[in-house]
C-alpha cells in the first residue's frame, strides 16, 4: 500500500492518520478537511468555549510540530465532492483528484436546520464563536431541541445572564434515549435555574423575531439556537457504489468496501458486542474507531472486530452526566445506586435479558466503571442488576 487517503480532519480522521504512522505505514498519507483549521476538539464548543472559559487555541488536538512529524499531505479548507471505487479516487472541491490504495472516510455530521432565515447551529468553531459573541446578559435565547447539545448550551447561556427558553417536541426531553424518569431529573435542573421549558411543541420556522410554532404562535427571541440533531455527511458519496443508510454502512471491522473503511460520526457499523448496527456521535468513539479502522486497513489478515462499549458525558450546571453502553431501544431502566431526587445516582439499562447501558449523575467516574466492565463482558441483567436492586430495596 503506497497511498492512503483519510477524508475528514477531526478526531476520527486524525486518530486514523496517527495510527497508520504508528503502525509503520511510511507511504503517502493525505488528510483532507473541509474546514481551514487544523484538527480541533468539538465537545468544548458547547461548554468551555461557549462560556468563554477557553479560547480557540486550547481546542487544538495537536500542535503544528506534532502534525509535521506525521509527514502528511495536508489538504485543509477543501471538501471531498465525489468518490470512484472503480478508479480508487477521491474528487475534491478544488478540482483535484486523489488516487488511493486505501481510504478512511471520517467526514462526520452536519446539523439539521429549520425553515426560515437566521438561527445558530453549533458544530464548528466559527459557529460557537458567533453564538458566544451574542450571548450577553439580558438577551433572550430560544434553544430548539432539549437534547444534550441544546441542554448544555442552555446551561451556559443561563450562566452568562441570558433569558433562556428550551423548546422540545417530546413530552419529556431525552426520554427516548435515557428513559422518562432520568429525563425528568435532567429537565428539573433547568427549571430550578429559571430556564423556561416547553415540551410537546413543534417549531415550524425561524423568523427575525424568534421562532414560529406549528400552531402559529410566535416565541420571541433575540437569538435562536437550532439543536435538533445531525445528519451524516454522505452526500459526496452519491453514486460511489458504497451502501449509505444513516451513515456509511460497514461491517464489524468498519469496512464499507474492499480497502475502504469508515470511522466516527459518519460510520454505521455492526457492533458484535451488542449484536446490532449503530452510529455513535461521541468524541471517545470517534478516536477509538479511527484507530481501529486504520489498523484493520493496514493489516487485513489480522483484522479485529470493533466492539466497544460506547461512552459519553455531558456537563450541565453542577451536574456531571456520564454513560456507558448503548441506551437506545432499552426495555427497562432501574436505579441501582443513589437517589434520583438527589441527582446522585446510577441507572442501569436492560435490552432483552442483557445489561446494555449505565448512566450516572453526580458520582465519581470510578463508581460507574464497574458497570462498564459488566457491559463489556456481556453480563445478563439478572446477574449484574437484580442483586443490586434487591439490596437497595431492602
DSSP assignment of 143-157: EE--SHHHHHHHHHH
CATH of the domain at 373: 3.30.390.30
How many angstroms separate the CA atoms of 238 and 215, rounded? 37
Are the CB atoms for 368 and 324 separated by under 8 Å?
yes
Residue 387 has a pLDDT of 58
Is the confidence at residue 131, as pLDDT, over 90?
yes
Q: Which of 120-129, 216-225, 378-387 has the lowest mean pLDDT?
A: 378-387
How many angstroms separate the CA atoms of 100 and 240, rounded? 15
Residue 233 has a pLDDT of 98
Task: With H, G, I as helix, E, B as strand and everything else as coil, classify residue 249.
Answer: strand
Is 63 found in the same domain as 200?
no
Residue 367 has a pLDDT of 84
Is 161 found in the same domain as 106?
no
Residue 391 has a pLDDT of 40
Quick: pLDDT tens for 326-381: 999 999 999 999 999 899 999 999 999 999 999 999 998 888 989 999 999 999 99
- 390: pLDDT confidence band, cut at 50, 70 and 90? very low
Is 118 found in the same domain as 61?
no
Higher pLDDT, 384 or 127: 127
311 located within any domain = no
Is 119 found in the same domain as 214?
yes
Which H or E run contains 68?
helix 64-69
Backbone angles phi, psi at 271, to 5 degrees: -95, 105
The count of structural domains within the chain is 3
**Those residues with Cβ within 8 angstroms of residue 272's Cβ, 6 or more apart along the chain or in another chain:** 252, 305, 307
How many angstroms separate the CA atoms of 32 and 147, rounded? 30
Are the CB atoms for 158 and 195 separated by under 8 Å?
yes
Is 30 found in the same domain as 162?
no
Is 55 found in the same domain as 199?
no
Mark which of 226, 259, 284 sits at the end of a domain.
Answer: 226
185 located within any domain = yes
Higher pLDDT, 89 or 186: 89
How many angstroms separate the CA atoms of 328 and 359, rounded? 12
Is 222 found in the same domain as 117?
yes
Is 102 found in the same domain as 236?
yes
Is the confidence at residue 191, as pLDDT, over 50?
yes
Residue 392 has a pLDDT of 44
Q: Are strands 354-361 and 344-351 parallel, antiparallel or unpaired?
A: antiparallel
- 21: pLDDT confidence band, cut at 50, 70 and 90? very high
Is 360 found in the same domain as 276?
no
Are the CB atoms for 79 and 237 separated by under 8 Å?
no
63 located within any domain = yes
pTM metric for this prediction: 0.95
Backbone angles phi, psi at 202, to 5 degrees: -115, 130
Quick: pLDDT tens for 239-264: 999 999 999 999 999 999 999 999 99
Residue 316 has a pLDDT of 85
Quick: pLDDT tens for 163-180: 999 999 999 998 888 999
140 located within any domain = yes
Is the confidence at residue 319, as pLDDT, over 90?
no
310 located within any domain = no
Q: Which of 75, 83, 68, 81 is nearest to 13 (CA)?
A: 75
**Those residues with Cβ within 8 angstroms of residue 268's Cβ, 6 or more apart along the chain or in another chain:** 232, 245, 246, 247, 248, 249, 250, 277, 278, 279
- Distances, alpha carbon 112 to alpha carbons 122, 153, 178, 229, in Å: 10, 16, 22, 6
Residue 118 has a pLDDT of 86
Mark which of 302, 329, 344 sits at the end of a domain.
Answer: 302
Quick: pLDDT tens for 67-97: 999 999 999 999 999 999 999 999 999 999 9
Are the CB atoms for 46 and 123 separated by under 8 Å?
no
- 117: pLDDT confidence band, cut at 50, 70 and 90? confident
Domain that holds residue 340: 318-393
Is 238 found in the same domain as 202?
no
Place of cell 433569558: 163
Quick: pLDDT tens for 269-302: 999 999 999 999 999 999 999 999 999 999 999 9
CATH of the domain at 86: 3.50.50.60
13 located within any domain = yes
Residue 88 has a pLDDT of 97
308 located within any domain = no
How much of the chain, in percent, has pLDDT values that exceed 70?
A: 98
309 located within any domain = no
Residue 388 has a pLDDT of 63
Q: Are strands 218-220 and 210-213 parallel, antiparallel or unpaired?
A: antiparallel
Is 118 found in the same domain as 78?
no
Is 274 found in the same domain as 125?
no
Mean pLDDT score of the chain, rounded to an integer? 94
Mark which of 226, 260, 278 sits at the end of a domain.
Answer: 226
* Mean pLDDT along residues 200-208: 96
Amino acid at each position: 500500500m503506497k497511498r492512503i487517503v483519510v477524508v475528514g480532519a477531526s478526531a476520527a480522521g486524525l486518530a486514523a492518520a496517527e495510527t497508520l504512522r504508528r503502525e509503520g505505514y511510511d507511504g503517502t498519507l493525505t488528510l483532507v478537511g473541509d474546514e481551514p483549521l487544523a484538527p480541533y476538539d468539538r465537545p468544548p464548543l458547547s461548554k468551555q468555549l461557549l462560556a468563554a472559559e477557553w479560547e480557540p487555541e486550547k481546542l487544538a488536538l495537536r500542535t503544528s510540530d506534532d502534525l509535521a512529524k506525521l509527514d502528511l499531505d495536508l489538504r485543509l479548507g477543501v471538501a471531498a465532492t465525489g468518490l470512484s471505487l472503480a478508479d480508487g479516487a477521491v474528487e475534491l472541491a478544488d478540482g483535484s483528484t486523489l488516487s488511493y490504495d486505501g481510504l478512511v472516510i471520517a467526514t462526520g455530521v452536519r446539523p439539521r436546520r429549520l425553515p426560515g432565515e437566521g438561527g445558530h447551529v453549533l458544530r464548528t468553531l466559527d459557529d460557537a464563536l458567533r453564538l458566544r459573541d451574542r450571548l450577553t446578559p439580558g438577551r433572550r435565547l430560544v434553544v430548539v431541541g432539549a437534547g444534550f447539545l441544546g441542554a448544555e448550551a442552555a446551561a451556559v447561556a443561563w450562566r452568562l445572564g441570558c433569558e433562556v427558553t428550551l423548546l422540545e417536541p417530546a413530552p419529556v426531553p431525552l426520554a427516548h434515549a435515557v428513559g422518562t424518569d432520568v429525563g425528568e431529573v435532567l429537565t428539573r435542573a433547568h427549571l430550578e435555574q429559571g430556564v423556561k421549558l416547553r415540551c410537546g411543541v413543534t417549531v415550524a420556522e425561524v423568523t427575525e423575531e424568534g421562532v414560529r410554532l406549528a400552531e402559529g404562535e410566535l416565541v420571541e427571541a433575540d437569538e435562536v439556537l437550532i439543536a435538533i440533531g445531525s445528519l451524516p455527511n454522505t452526500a459526496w458519496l452519491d453514486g460511489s457504489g458504497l451502501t449509505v443508510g444513516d451513515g456509511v454502512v460497514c461491517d464489524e471491522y468498519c469496512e464499507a468496501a474492499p480497502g475502504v473503511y469508515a470511522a466516527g460520526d459518519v460510520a454505521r457499523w455492526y457492533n458484535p458486542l451488542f449484536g446490532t448496527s449503530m452510529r455513535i456521535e461521541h468524541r471517545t468513539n470517534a478516536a477509538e474507531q479511527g484507530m481501529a479502522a486504520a489498523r484493520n486497513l493496514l493489516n487485513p489478515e489480522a483484522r479485529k472486530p470493533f466492539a466497544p462499549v460506547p461512552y459519553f458525558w455531558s456537563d450541565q450546571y453542577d451536574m456531571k452526566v456520564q454513560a456507558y453502553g448503548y441506551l437506545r431501544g432499552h426495555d427497562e431502566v432501574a436505579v441501582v445506586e443513589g437517589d434520583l431526587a438527589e441527582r446522585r445516582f446510577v441507572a442501569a439499562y436492560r435490552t432483552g435479558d442483557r445489561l446494555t447501558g449505565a448512566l450516572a449523575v453526580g458520582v465519581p467516574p470510578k463508581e460507574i466503571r464497574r458497570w462498564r466492565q459488566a457491559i463489556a463482558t456481556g453480563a445478563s441483567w439478572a446477574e449484574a442488576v437484580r442483586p443490586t436492586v434487591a439490596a437497595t430495596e431492602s
